[in-house]
């Protein structure tokens, strides 16, 4: 099947079928036939992902901007409406400037959906978590660059629930706290580097 590109509207005008088009400020290359990445009915888009945290699965903006000041090189799949509008649908993958994997996951009708995995430049896992229709669900785990666990806890409907634990780079606990429907609840405990309890306090319920 030959590679083709449907016309794309850019800033109010239709761009003729071509291998590369400009959409806004992002240079993208698209093809209707990408059996190794995109499913039939979607096109493959290559460019730089917006540095707003959302695209790469919840990385905070400061961290993301430090990693890729101009946006991370990425490839994703999208459906295209008759007016040329693209909606992310299918796999997404980004990389660092040196080609190492950065983040991978998938979209469904424009919302993150499924398991997302982020990695450090050394290839070690940075986070693993699940999205359903744009909301975080289930257990989310983050790691330090040295491979030791950084934090772990669960989401329900994009809100933190249950016990959350944060760890030092040594692997020892640093902080434990609990959430009810996204609000802090109960006792917060901080730990010293040697594993002994440093402080315990009852928290004032509030959204975190």
What pLDDT sits at residue 35?
A: 43
Q: Which pLDDT score is estimated for 54?
A: 43
pLDDT at 77: 93
- Domain boundaries in the chain? 1-131, 134-208
Closest listed residue to residue 105, CA positions, set 54, 153, 63, 48: 54
Each residue's pLDDT expressed in tens, for the chain with a length of 208 residues: 333 333 333 333 333 222 223 333 344 444 443 346 899 999 999 888 754 334 443 344 334 445 666 678 889 999 999 998 999 999 999 888 888 888 899 999 999 999 999 888 889 999 999 999 999 999 999 999 999 999 999 999 999 999 999 999 999 999 999 999 888 888 899 999 888 999 999 887 654 4
Token digits for 53?
Answer: 């945290």
pLDDT at 174: 94
Report the pLDDT value the prediction gives residue 88, as an integer from 0 to 100: 92
CA 192 – CA 34 distance, rounded (Å): 52
pLDDT at 48: 81
Tell me the pLDDT tens digit for each residue of 108-138. Answer: 999 999 999 988 888 999 999 999 999 999 9
pLDDT at residue 91, as a whole number: 94
Q: Look at domain 134-208 and name its CATH class.
A: alpha beta
For 192, list phi and psi in degrees, rounded to 5. -75, 165
Q: Closest Cα to residue 51, out of 98, 115, 94, 18?
A: 94
d(CA 3, CA 90): 19
C-alpha pair distances (Å), 59 with each of 55, 68, 101, 128 = 8, 12, 15, 12
Contacts of 82 (CB under 8 A, 6+ apart): none
Q: Which of 37, 27, 33 is nearest to 5 (CA)?
A: 33
Give the model's pLDDT for residue 203: 83
Contact 143, 127 (CB under 8 A): yes
Least Cα distance to 164 among 174, 149, 154 occurs for 154
Rounded to whole angstroms, how far apart are CA atoms 46 and 29?
Answer: 5
**Looking at residue 204, what is its pLDDT?**
74
Number of Cβ atoms within 10 Å of the Cβ of 195:
11
Token look-up 């992310």 returns 88
Whether the Cβ atoms of residue 21 and residue 13 lie closer than 8 Å to each other: no
The whole-angstrom separation of Cα 132 and Cα 40 is 22
pTM of the model: 0.76
């Amino acid at each position: 099947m030959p590679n083709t590109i449907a016309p794309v509207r850019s800033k109010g005008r239709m761009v003729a079928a071509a291998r590369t088009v400009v959409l806004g400020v992002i240079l993208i290359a698209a093809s209707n036939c990408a059996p190794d990445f995109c499913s039939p009915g979607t096109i493959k888009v290559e460019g730089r992902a917006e540095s707003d945290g959302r695209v790469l699965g919840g990385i905070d903006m400061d961290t993301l901007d430090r990693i890729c000041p101009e946006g991370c090189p990425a490839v994703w799949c999208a459906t295209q409406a008759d007016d040329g509008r693209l909606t992310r649908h299918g796999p997404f993958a980004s990389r660092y400037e040196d080609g190492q994997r950065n983040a991978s996951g998938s979209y469904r009708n424009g919302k993150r959906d499924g398991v997302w995995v982020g990695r450090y430049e050394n290839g070690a896992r940075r986070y693993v978590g699940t999205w359903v229709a744009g909301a975080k669900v289930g257990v989310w785990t983050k790691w330090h660059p040295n491979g030791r666990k950084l934090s772990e806890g669960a989401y329900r409907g994009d809100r933190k629930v249950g016990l959350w634990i944060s760890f030092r780079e040594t692997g020892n606990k640093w902080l434990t706290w609990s959430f009810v429907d996204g609000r802090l609840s109960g006792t917060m405990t901080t730990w010293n580097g040697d594993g002994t309890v440093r402080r315990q306090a009852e928290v004032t319920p509030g959204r975190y």
